[in-house]
A and B are shown apart, each in its own frame.
Chain A
């Protein structure tokens, strides 16, 4: 059975896996974005707090993903929970770092102007600082998503959802007829998903970055 025949015969299963993979990454990314931006907003103003946030999120990133999931299993069990927690944590770093860099990079004279014309602290953040910091934040989200696509495959180790299952099954049955096809299908599926997501982000950027600030 060659690769195309394999995909043809298993497309149902592959589509379900791909959907779950995408859905897991997407949901974790939303969570990571919200948490990451909040951390950024809370810390960008102070030198040490911002550095602390960046350092601790990058410390998380240095933990091998397999180890992270392995460590989470005894705490939260198998399946979805360790996957979600691990992905969200890994997604944080690029978002937090770019949020801090973006918010700090807003022209101080604009912040001054915003305050000067009578914007409250929150109004200034919501109407001026975050919109101006949005392009770098979006870049962070994009990078994080690419990363999570790969890391999500490891989640199958904790019997999580996604295309990782395909890869792990293939590796487990190395030597068998379909082993290579399985690994290949899983890997290619992840690459295709990553490209689709990236295309979606370009679109999101077009829609959310106002013309006035688009490079």
Chain B
């Protein structure tokens, strides 16, 4: 069935390849023919290893929407990896059902199933005896794509993960850095254009800086591709950064909370979750909002080309103490205070304090806060794509916005919890009503 859509998928990624996509065009239309995500439903999924009393994974039920990035996070040994591996049946479940895209895959041929599910693991799992191109081309070859199409796809995938095809095509994995290997690992997982991608602590073995880059890359990829991704990690910060929703798992893969990062940060379900969230939830929350989400105020500006007299007039006319001097291309250049100009004897080149830190509208609030805190006047200039001035964020707006955000989160989480409680009450009600034969199960 997949083949019919595959034939038109050859050039899918070229249009979405490099550069920032046009803001108005959703990625789904930018990549015609490319497979986007499929839903994943887990129903009472259980793994019971023979010889152990308690199941390793105990009756996990979960619905993951198409195109969603869900992160499983939990302490080591909580069964999150086992749960993940049951989705592509690397570990055969002993009970429960798995449905992908509505199709029950619990009993289908596991080899066929896995070819439709991308799989990326820690330390990349690249085959050292194959070149980068051979590694990426593996799954398309297994599925039986024609040679020319595989070749084109390899180039496309390398492009997609930000590696130059000409340079990396013929290299062996050991000739790559850890981060590059991981990129190739992701490229291999996506090569046959699977609707679902499973990632088992893929960035666990790379250094923090590279990990940060790879996470950004994954966010960008997901923005373009809209796959359904299940991502396992033990790093809660990584979970917050990547997840559309996060499933916090405790031992035996019991779901402690399954919700958006915002909700988990502001309203952890219980002590286990709040323990896992750790200290500084409000600070972590700042990572989830962008400068564009808060109110950006303006401030009086002048450009270096303006006659001095105009600058004086503006300074006097504005109620504030300061005025922002822009350079010829509209980029913030210097802060001018009253008196600066007289002190510098009318020379713009000597007057004022240079602007050293700016943020873009896409920067996180945490970055903005950092900039505001280090600025001696407690404000930071927001710049546009080409570095041009768009506004200013100061401590006060930042604080107000954060308070509003946290309050909104809290209300939303409360409402959500209310809904959940209601749903649960209804479920127990149903169970009790039909409890006649159901007691043996409990």
Contacts and interface: CB of A to CB of B under 8 A. Distances in A.
Interface of A: 109-110, 112-120, 123, 127-128, 131-132, 210-213
B173 A212 contact: yes
19 contacts: A113-B121, A113-B126, A115-B114, A116-B85, A116-B90, A116-B198, A117-B119, A117-B138, A117-B139, A117-B142, A117-B188, A118-B112, A118-B142, A127-B138, A132-B128, A210-B129, A210-B130, A212-B128, A212-B129
B111 A119 contact: yes
B350 interface: no
- For B88, B115, B127, B189, which residue has the most chain A Cβ atoms within 10 angstroms? B127
A112 B125 contact: yes
A212 B115 CA distance: 25
B172 A211 contact: yes
B122 interface: yes
Contacts of A119: 111, 138, 142
B121 A120 contact: no
B316 interface: no
Contacts of B174: 212
> What range describes how many residues of B lie at the interface?
20 to 34
Nearest to A124: B111
B123 interface: yes
Interface of B: 85, 88, 90, 111-119, 121-123, 125-131, 138-139, 142, 172-175, 188-189, 198
Given A113-B121, A117-B188, 5 more contacts: A109-B122, A109-B123, A116-B85, A117-B139, A127-B127
Nearest to A109: B125
Closest 3 CB pairs between A and B?
A212-B172, A113-B125, A118-B115
Given A210-B172, A212-B130, A118 B114 contact: yes
A115 B131 CA distance: 19
Contacts of B126: 113
B172 A116 contact: no
B240 to A, nearest CB: 26
A120 B138 CA distance: 12
Given A109-B122, A118-B142, A123-B142, A128 B114 contact: no
Given A117-B189, A118-B139, A120-B111, A109 B129 contact: no
B129 to A, nearest CB: 5
Contacts of A115: 90, 114
B119 A113 contact: yes
A131 B129 contact: yes
Nearest to B121: A113
A55 to B, nearest CB: 28
A85 B89 CA distance: 45
A117 B172 contact: no
B119 A116 contact: yes
